[in-house]
Amino acid sequence: MKNLYAATYACLMQPDVDQKLACATQLYADWQTGSLVRETPVDCPVQAIPIPGRPVLPELVHPKLVKQRKLTTPAGRRALLHAVAHIEFNAINLALDAVYRFREMPDAYYGDWLQVAAEEAYHFSLLRERLQADFACVYGDLPAHNGLWEQACKTDYDVLVRMALVPRVLEARGLDVTPGMMQRLRDAGDEPSVAVLEIILRDEIGHVRIGSRWFWYCCEQRGLEPEATFRQLIMDVLHGPLRGPFYTEARLQAGFSAAELEQLQEMEKTG
């Protein structure tokens, strides 16, 4: 039997891409077969992780230095797919950190986030194959930014805050923008990339729904009203309303209510 937290930490800190992908997939398989135990080992206390396991490349730069290119060109499509691959790689680490860090949740929570880590690893693999097949590009060839992990560090003190602001804000933003990316790729004749993004969008709805489920659970445990708490966290931690437009259909599937979306839109107008 392997220890859940120690094994997850080892995967989280693994810098080799192929080994991290294999490890994330294996962790979920081990959980499903009951091969992981939850006792906290003395040599694996929860600690801050300013830098998780990642390869030397891509170079991390300020978001404003990550160039935006038109998807009508191969260079533009390569840049987009590389950026999405970087998001998916970070999402593996985010899911693993949710398992490693918050140790007082029900068993189902850990199964959910190990499933997310395995699915993010699959998404990364699909994107890496696309980059290599048609764009002669390897993950790390282009610069990227570290915004996702910075949000992980800012929410590492409370599982309720993490569930609110990573799945329901950062990942939900991916639901909003992906259909537009798919349409621009379709217009450029890049159907193989559209097919990959279709898979990612389908699964990411489920990931945001998992975040919603555990956010609601945390609110119930603390006697908090979820939608009001979510709006307050947006203002207190993010210091401003969410940006639209919102992909209503996907967000409804992912656990947002119609009233909640109306309130978020109103916050944007008045914010």
157: phi then psi, degrees, rounded to nearest 5: -100, -10
pLDDT at 181 > cutoff 70? yes
Q: Decide: 57 and 102 in contact? Cβ < 8 Å.
A: no
CA atoms within 13 A on the CB side of 65: 10
What local confidence, expressed as pLDDT, does residue 207 receive? 98
Domain 2-46+69-270: give its CATH code: 1.20.1260
Query: Could you give the percent of the chain with pLDDT greater than 70?
Result: 100
Model confidence at 69: pLDDT above 80: no
Q: How large is the average pLDDT for residues 232-255? A: 95
Is the per-residue pLDDT at 67 higher than 80?
Answer: no
Q: Residue 235 — pLDDT band, cuts 50, 70, 90?
A: very high
As a whole number, mean pLDDT of residues 216-231 equals: 98
How does pLDDT run across 102-153, given as a tens digit for each residue? Answer: 999 999 999 999 999 999 999 999 999 999 999 999 999 999 999 999 999 9
How high does pLDDT run on average in the chain? 95
* Cα–Cα distance, 113 to 95 (Å, whole number): 5
Q: What is the pLDDT of residue 63?
A: 86
Q: What is the mean pLDDT of residues 172-179?
A: 96
Q: Which of 145, 144, 205, 151 is nearest to 174 (CA)?
A: 205
For range 209-224, the mean pLDDT:
98
Q: What are phi and psi of 36, to 5 degrees?
A: -120, 135
pLDDT of residue 42 exceeding 90: no
**How would you classify residue 156: left for phi > 0, otherwise alpha for psi between -120 and 50, otherwise beta?**
alpha
Non-local CB neighbours of 4 within 8 Å, separated by 6+ positions:
31, 36, 37, 38, 99, 110
Pair of tokens at residue 224: 């908090």
What would the mean pLDDT of 15-31 be, rounded to a whole number?
98
User: CB of 91 within 8 A of CB of 12?
Assistant: no
- According to the model, what pLDDT value does residue 70 have? 84
- Given a contact cutoff of 8 angstroms between Cβ atoms, the answer to whether 45 and 5 are in contact is no
Give the confidence band of 44 by pLDDT, cuts at 50, 70, 90: confident
For residues 167 and 120, is the Cβ–Cβ distance under 8 A? no
Domain ranges in the chain are 2-46+69-270
Tell me: pLDDT of 271 over 70.
no
pLDDT-derived band at 81 (thresholds 50, 70, 90) equals very high
